[in-house]
Amino acid sequence: MPVFRIAHISDTHFSIWPNKQHWFEAFSQNPRSTLKNFRNRNIADYPSGYSPEVAEHAARKLFELRDEIDMVVLTGDVATVGDNRCLRVAREFTHSPVESGWLNAKDLPTLQASAKGKPLVIIPGNHDRFKDEACEPNGERFDRFYEDVWPTPAHYVHHVEANKEGQGLLCISVDFCLRSISDAGGPIDASYYYMGRGKAYRDAVGRIVERTLELRAKNPSTAVFWSMHFPPTDRVSPSLRLVDFDLVSDAAADNSIPVILAGHLHEEAVFYTTRNTPILCAGSLTTFGQAQSFSIVEFNVNGGRIDSCRRVILRMDHKKGEFAFGGRELIFGAR
pLDDT digits (tens, 9 = 90+) for 40-80: 445 454 577 899 999 999 999 999 999 999 999 999 999 99
Closest CA to 82 of 144, 47, 132, 16: 132
CB atoms within 10 A of CB 61: 19
pLDDT of residue 134: 78
pLDDT interval class at 247 (50, 70, 90):
very high
Of the pLDDT bands very low, low, confident and very high (cuts 50, 70, 90), residue 38 is very low
325: amino acid identity, one letter: F
Cα 128 to Cα 2, 13, 69, 206: the distances in Å are 35, 9, 26, 23
Any bridge partners for residue 173, and if so which? 158, 227
Instruction: Decide if 260 contacts 155 (C-beta within 8 A).
Output: no
Q: What is the 3-state secondary structure (H, E, C) of 108-159?
A: CECCHHHHCCCCEEECCCCCCCCCCCCCCCCCCHHHHHCCCCCCCHHHCEEE
Kindly report, residue by residue over 104-159, the tens digit of the pLDDT: 999 999 999 999 999 999 999 999 999 987 789 999 999 999 999 999 877 899 99
Q: How far apart are CA 78 and CA 271, in angstroms?
A: 22
Please state, in angstroms and as integers, the Cα–Cα distance from residue 274 to each residue in 10, 73, 238, 259, 335, following that order.
24, 24, 16, 13, 25
